Amino acid sequence: MELSKTYNPKEYESKIYDLWEQNKVFEPSKEGRPFSMVFPPPNANGNLHIGHAFTLAIQDIAARYARLKGDSVLFVPGADHAGFETQVVYERLLEKEGKSRFDFSREELYSQIYDYVNANKNNTENQLKKLGASFDWSKHVFSLDKKVVDSAYKRFKKMWDDKLIYRGERLVNFCTLHGTAFADIEVEYKEEQGHLWYVNYPVNGADENIVVATTRPETLLGDTAVAVNPNDKRYSKLINKTVTLPLTGREVPIIADDFVDPDFGTGAVKITPAHDPNDFEAASRHSLPMISVIDFMGNITHEMPEKYRGLDVLTARNKVLKDLKDQGFLSKTEDYTHSVGHCYKCKTIIQPLLKEQWFIDMKPLAKKAVEVLRDNKIVFYPESKKTQLINYLNQLRDWNISRQISWGIPIPAFQNTENPDDWIFDSRVEQELIETDNKTYKRDPDVFDTWFSSSSWPYVATDYPDSDLFKKYYPLSLMDTGGEILFPWVSRMIMLGLYETGEIPFKEVYIHGYVMAEDGAKMSKSLGNVINPIDVVDEYGSDALRMGMIAGRVPGVNRGYDPRKVEDARNFCNKLWNIARFSQDKISSYIKNPKPKTMADNWIIGKLDELEKNLAKDMDRYGFAEGHEKLYHFIWDDLADWYVEASKSQSDGSILAYVLVQSLKLLHPYAPFVTEAIWQSLKPVHESEILGRAKISTIIEFDRAKSKKFETVKDLIVEIRNISNTMKLTKRRLVVKPSQIDKESEELIKKLARVGEILDKSFEEEIQLTNTDIIASLEVSREVLNGYLSDLKSKISESKKIKSGLEGRLKNRAYIEKAPEKLVKETRDSLVSINKSLELLEGELTKFKS
């Protein structure tokens, strides 16, 4: 096959992906140690972003490297229905048509969104294929697949039976625009400029006021107490008295509770149980009534005094303030900065509202998770993420799993129409009403939080509990995700995995940082700095994007996207391509274990051996960037710049073929497309039809002495090039004793250092070479030699500096005694060789003096 001058990814990538799929390259092999991963399921509703591409790059490299090693690799793709997210996207579409979710029933909306998602699902899958994802597509899991839904029901039932699930009227984080509650972790807090208003509450039976400070004066309509610290002497005589609530005239008690900070505000705090989590807890402790002031639309409820009813929160606040002022209750106003929770989608202020919801008691689940983490049952990269996770788990509150949206898995719970406290579990969720024991039950209209189902991913994807898949591949080998879902996803997979299967869900966790925009800011549509990975693939190729993102990145740290790295990676692919182009003519047939003959042969085999071993070390600890750098420099520097050049004078191409074949294997995880494209064009040269299925092999034997000799000649060549370039030598004649150098070295020097002649005689004007053990010199003119003087002087002073450094160290007795013996020996050797070259250099200097 004729290869074009530059590698054109577009010409090959989709064909190669088809080739892999048709040959079922990504199915787990029967033999080999199990290695398993699930890909964090992207939302089924849209396009992949750069973060997906990065996650995929990491995992795909790990998967392909495992296959290369001979592991049996299970790599499972998936898609998430992303309940709330997707419904928001769909509502935006409806909005464009002038409609809203209120125009449809729950069932209608669900089926519309289902059709919409189905139409978009292929899009995401095709993009993943473009990125080279080596998934076993036959194992694909969608989070609304029957097995996921069944598992959610089973788990809900089990938790219900274990009394881990409870239904309760609790404060939930409610977005009044979207009309749904959120988990604590979904609320976004932001610092905001506000005010602290001081309000007088007249104490009954005493001629005084108790002053409370508040940022939300409208909520005083729902106050059911005033609290002070029990040890606060200022207020001790008022405890158990009552106050008359301004504007409502209601009488509420003054209570004592430890949670009140005497130093904040006035040390007295109004208690509004229906709209503040602390107040809610205090009210529970003191059995106080809870009065809702704000409804689920964000307006003042009908239980409130008539003049405020139906007003939105802000209008109500202003009216309350005016009334307080007019009636003399407002004592003062201060500016105050505090943090306010917002809906992470629409930025509406989150209202803590009282609502009946399903909650999971997290304490026992978190406790088990902390135990396995403390026992180091799961290895984290970077390790610091484990500590962060433990801290998070230790302060975890109960999890609200009810969502008031249509798009999701219906909660399989039914309420007795006659008795609101009678709830039963039943999976007949397609019916709104069911009959059991002659009683009628009505389905809970809510759906599960998406994370409730996605947290079962590791064991659902492997078909827990009885499948062979589960037995072989669970716990998963590696879980890689971005830092942003360490808490919402990783933590819950650990807790639920332990709860349901009794085992950890994965053995290792790799947390990668975000791919930021070039300037280090977060990528976001509103800033217009988003990089679309598919555009990059179209321009530079899939391999280039992968390697460009991986290069120089460490786990857990956010870094900007660097287009220069992608471009460099594209060039690298082209370099490899051209090595193959060059090799094509040189190699004819496949020899499994060729014999290295020349110095260069032995040297490159030595380098290849070193590469394979070091790469294994890097990959064992998921050092993706380090591995990449080693491959890059081996292929570009050692193979292309030295071996290919040296081998141009060789007729036997068997070692070139061997090294190329092994290099393709080792690079394949990082650059699957270009390596496979080359592999396919080199058909007669290797044992395996498809590179994606090739296995790593032990590198053939080589002669270390010959390899070392090549290294010396290489150093000599570099020195000749250096002097020739800086001194601008046009004609290069090298003087060296025949005993110093053999025929093979001579050829290499002539060819690679562009030396015209190698002679066994002295010239009047010469520059002595000092970097190797070979005594040699370059013939130069008097003029050049004079110009060399300053170079020579700086070389000498540099060598002297090094020399004195080495001597200083060796004079230090403590160094000799305490430093490792090997190091001291190395220092002595260095000193010997620096002395030798210094001697030569100083000898040169005498030429100028004479």
- Within 192-211, the residues that bind RNA by CB under 7 A are 196
Q: Does 179 bind RNA (CB under 7 A)?
A: no
Which is closer to RNA, CB of 74 or CB of 566? 566
Question: Smallest gap, in angstroms, from Cβ of residue 212 to RNA?
Answer: 5
Q: Rounded distance, CA 558 to CA 527, Å?
A: 18
Residue (of 367, 593, 582, 588) closest to 494 by Cα position = 367
**Which of 104, 137, 487, 590 is the binder for RNA (CB under 7 A)?**
487
Looking at the DSSP bridge assignments, the partners of residue 787 are: none
Which is closer to RNA, CB of 527 or CB of 557? 557
End-to-end CA, the chain: 64
Q: Which one-letter DSSP state was computed for residue 224?
A: -
- Within 498-517, the residues that bind RNA by CB under 7 A are none
Question: Smallest gap, in angstroms, from Cβ of residue 754 to RNA?
Answer: 6
- CB-count exposure of residue 207 (10 Å: 0-12, 13-18, 19+): exposed
**Which of 797, 820, 849, 850 is the binder for RNA (CB under 7 A)?**
820
Question: Smallest gap, in angstroms, from Cβ of residue 723 to RNA?
Answer: 8
- Within 274-293, the residues that bind RNA by CB under 7 A are 276-278
Where are the strands (E) in 643-775, listed by range?
A: 733-736, 757-759, 766-769
Q: Does 557 bind RNA (CB under 7 A)?
A: yes
Which is closer to RNA, CB of 558 or CB of 740? 558
- Per DSSP, the three-state class of 176 is coil
Q: Tokens 């090595």 correspond to what residue?
A: 579
SS in 3 state form for 706-726?
HHHHHHHHHHHHHHHHHHHHH
Question: Smallest gap, in angstroms, from Cβ of residue 580 to RNA?
Answer: 8
**Which of 56, 76, 165, 213 is the binder for RNA (CB under 7 A)?**
213
Question: Smallest gap, in angstroms, from Cβ of residue 369 to RNA?
Answer: 16
- Within 294-313, the residues that bind RNA by CB under 7 A are none
CA neighbours within 13 Å on the CB side: how many for 436? 18
List the alpha helices (DSSP H) in 162-290: 277-286
- The size of the interface with RNA (CB under 7 A), counted in residues, is 91
Looking at the DSSP bridge assignments, the partners of residue 170 are: 355
| Tokens encoding 203 | 């104490």
Which is closer to RNA, CB of 27 or CB of 184? 184
Q: Does 520 bind RNA (CB under 7 A)?
A: yes
- Per DSSP, the three-state class of 430 is coil
Q: Rounded distance, CA 545 to CA 518, Å?
A: 15
Q: Does 835 bind RNA (CB under 7 A)?
A: no
Question: Smallest gap, in angstroms, from Cβ of residue 6 to RNA?
Answer: 4
- Within 467-486, the residues that bind RNA by CB under 7 A are 483
Question: Smallest gap, in angstroms, from Cβ of residue 596 to RNA?
Answer: 19
Q: Are 513 and 558 in contact (CB under 8 A)?
A: yes
**Which of 94, 485, 534, 554 is the binder for RNA (CB under 7 A)?**
554
Which is closer to RNA, CB of 125 or CB of 543? 543
Q: Does 806 bind RNA (CB under 7 A)?
A: yes
Which is closer to RNA, CB of 130 or CB of 630? 630
| Contact string 2-31 vs RNA (x = CB under 7 A) | ---xxxx-----------------------
Q: Rounded distance, CA 637 to CA 311, Å?
A: 73
Q: Does 230 bind RNA (CB under 7 A)?
A: no
Looking at the DSSP bridge assignments, the partners of residue 196 are: 334
Question: Smallest gap, in angstroms, from Cβ of residue 269 to RNA?
Answer: 3
Which is closer to RNA, CB of 260 or CB of 694? 260
| Tokens encoding 46 | 């849209």
- Within 561-590, the residues that bind RNA by CB under 7 A are 562, 564-565, 567-568, 570-571, 573-575, 578-579, 581-582
Q: Does 718 bind RNA (CB under 7 A)?
A: yes
- Within 31-70, the residues that bind RNA by CB under 7 A are none
Q: Rounded distance, CA 808 to CA 31, Å?
A: 58
Question: Smallest gap, in angstroms, from Cβ of residue 80 to RNA?
Answer: 20
Question: Smallest gap, in angstroms, from Cβ of residue 571 to RNA?
Answer: 3
Which is closer to RNA, CB of 534 or CB of 802? 802
Longest dimension (CA), the chain: 121
Q: Does 177 bind RNA (CB under 7 A)?
A: no
Q: Please name the helix (run of DSSP H) or strand (run of DSSP E) that holds residue 688, with its range, or none.
A: none
- Within 248-267, the residues that bind RNA by CB under 7 A are 260-261, 264-265, 267
CA neighbours within 13 Å on the CB side: how many for 34? 17
Question: Smallest gap, in angstroms, from Cβ of residue 213 to RNA?
Answer: 4
Q: What is the C-alpha R_g of the chain?
A: 37
Q: Are 174 and 181 in contact (CB under 8 A)?
A: yes
Q: Rounded distance, CA 277 to CA 778, Å?
A: 85
Q: Rounded distance, CA 672 to CA 12, Å?
A: 11
Q: Does 740 bind RNA (CB under 7 A)?
A: no
| Tokens encoding 791 | 């170079």
- Within 322-341, the residues that bind RNA by CB under 7 A are 338-339
**Which of 379, 640, 690, 775 is the binder for RNA (CB under 7 A)?**
640
**Which of 114, 116, 344, 636 is the binder for RNA (CB under 7 A)?**
636
**Which of 312, 626, 711, 765 is the binder for RNA (CB under 7 A)?**
626
**Which of 70, 179, 253, 560 is the binder for RNA (CB under 7 A)?**
560
Q: Which amino acid is residue 300, in one-letter code?
A: I
- Within 641-660, the residues that bind RNA by CB under 7 A are 641, 644-645, 648
User: 162-184 burial by CB neighbour count: b if 16+ within 10 A, else e?
Assistant: eebbebeebbbbbbbebebbbbe
The number of residues in the chain equals: 850
- Within 600-619, the residues that bind RNA by CB under 7 A are none
Which is closer to RNA, CB of 318 or CB of 384? 384
Q: Does 185 bind RNA (CB under 7 A)?
A: yes
Q: Are 432 and 442 in contact (CB under 8 A)?
A: yes
Question: Which string of DSSP letters, residue by residue, matches 120-137?
Answer: HHHHHHHHHHHTT----G
Q: Does 787 bind RNA (CB under 7 A)?
A: no
- Within 363-402, the residues that bind RNA by CB under 7 A are 384, 387-388, 391-392, 395
Looking at the DSSP bridge assignments, the partners of residue 79 are: 142
Question: Smallest gap, in angstroms, from Cβ of residue 119 to RNA?
Answer: 33
**Which of 818, 821, 849, 850 is the binder for RNA (CB under 7 A)?**
818
Provide the phi-psi class of 481: left if phi over 0, else alpha when psi is between -120 and 50, else beta: beta
Which is closer to RNA, CB of 150 or CB of 620? 620
Q: Does 807 bind RNA (CB under 7 A)?
A: no
Which is closer to RNA, CB of 152 or CB of 175? 175
Q: Does 763 bind RNA (CB under 7 A)?
A: no
**Which of 286, 507, 709, 721 is the binder for RNA (CB under 7 A)?**
721
Q: Are 644 and 636 in contact (CB under 8 A)?
A: no
List the alpha helices (DSSP H) in 70-105: 83-96
Q: Are 696 and 599 in contact (CB under 8 A)?
A: no
Q: Does 348 bind RNA (CB under 7 A)?
A: no
Q: Does 270 bind RNA (CB under 7 A)?
A: yes
Question: Smallest gap, in angstroms, from Cβ of residue 601 to RNA?
Answer: 16
Q: Does 822 bind RNA (CB under 7 A)?
A: yes
Which is closer to RNA, CB of 159 or CB of 806? 806
Question: Smallest gap, in angstroms, from Cβ of residue 238 to RNA?
Answer: 15
Q: Which amino acid is residue 52, in one-letter code?
A: H
- CB-count exposure of residue 748 (10 Å: 0-12, 13-18, 19+): buried
Question: Smallest gap, in angstroms, from Cβ of residue 121 to RNA?
Answer: 29
